[in-house]
Amino acid sequence: MLFDFSEAERNTTRRALEIYVTDLREEIVKTEKHEWREALHLEKRILEGVIEQLSV
């Protein structure tokens, strides 16, 4: 799937994802169930990849 973001849209989306990933890190630390923590780590890695793509 391809998106055609304007620069402002790309920057806003990237910033929103960065904020979410920061919150996600805090959630990972608080999560006790191993399965949930693994799922959150995967989500974090995926989002970090999207952020990287939006930074190009």
pTM over 0.75: yes
- 16: in domain: yes
How many angstroms separate the CA atoms of 56 and 14, rounded? Answer: 11
- 22: in domain: yes
Please give the pLDDT value at position 21.
Answer: 98
pLDDT tens by residue, 7-18: 999 999 999 999
Domain count, the chain: 1
How many angstroms separate the CA atoms of 41 and 7, rounded? Answer: 29
Contacts by 5-10 with C-beta closer than 8 Å and gap 24+? 5/54, 10/54
Per-residue confidence in pLDDT tens, the chain, 56 aa = 888 999 999 999 999 999 999 999 999 999 999 999 999 999 999 999 999 999 98
- 37: in domain: yes
